[in-house]
Amino acid sequence: MPRIEQLPAVLDTAAARPLADMLRERLTESEPLLLDGAAVTQLGQACLQILLGAQQAAKAREIALSVRNPSEAMIAMATLAGCADLVAEAEG
């Protein structure tokens, strides 16, 4: 069973550090990880690059990591930022 983490509603610059800390800790556990984005209303660049970095690291460590249930706001911001695949992967 993959571990599920709820992403907070606001993923702005202030949220980047707790998000990075959480993901760094989870990635040391070598368990599949699902990030639930249903509550996300705001996604900024600082958190976006943390998510991208975590995705790369998970891939390099062969740990399954994906975003599920991304909110419309999250999809819209990720699409705007040119990384729709970050959230699209989870949908598929």
Partner 1 sequence: MDLDAIQQMFFLESEEGLQALESCFALCREGADDAETINTIFRAVHSIKGGAGAFGHEQLQTFAHHYESVLDQLRSGGLAMTPALLDVLLAAFDKLADHVAAAQGERATPDDSAVLAALAAAGEAKAEPAPAPAPAAEPANTPVGDDFDALLGLLEPEASAAAPTGGDDFDALVGLLDLDATASVAPSSHVSVRPSGNAFANGSEPLLLIRELARMGGTNIALDASALPPFDEIDVQRSYLAWTLEMPADVTREDIEAVFEFVDGWQVEINQGESAAPAAETQKPEVVAEPADAQTTVAAVIDAPTPAPAPVAPKPATPAATPQADAPAAAAASATIRVELEKLDRLVNLVGELVITQAMLAQRLSEHGLSGTSELTSLENLTRELQDSAMSIRAQPMKTVFNRVPRIIRELESDTGKRVRLQLDGEMTEVDKTVVERIGEPLTHLIRNAVDHGIERPEDRIAAGKPEEGVLRVAAEQRSGRIVITVADDGRGIDRARVRAKAIERGIVAPDVNLSEEEIDNLIFAPGFSTAETVSNISGRGVGMDVVRRNVQALGGRIGVSSRFGNGTSFTLSLPLTLAVLDGMIVKVGEQTFVIPLGNIVESLRALPGQLSYLSQDAAILDVRGAQLPVLRIGSLLGIPAQSDPDKTVMIVVESDAGPAVMMVDTIEDQRQVVVKSLEANYRAVPGVSGATILGDGRVALILDVDGVMIRARQRPALAA
* 33 φ, ψ (degrees, to nearest 5): -130, 130
Is residue 67 within 8 A of residue 32, CB to CB? The reply is: no
CA–CA separation, 58 and 46 (whole Å): 18
Q: If you compute the radius of gyration of the chain from its CA atoms, what whole number of angstroms results?
A: 12
Which residue's CB is nearer to partner 1, number 36 or number 49?
A: 49
Which residue's CB is nearer to partner 1, number 31 or number 85?
A: 85
Which residue's CB is nearer to partner 1, number 34 or number 63?
A: 63
Q: In the complex, which residues of this chain contact partner 1 (CB under 8 A)?
A: 10, 12-14, 16-17, 20, 23-24, 27, 41-46, 48-50, 52-57, 71-73, 75-77, 79-83, 85-86, 89
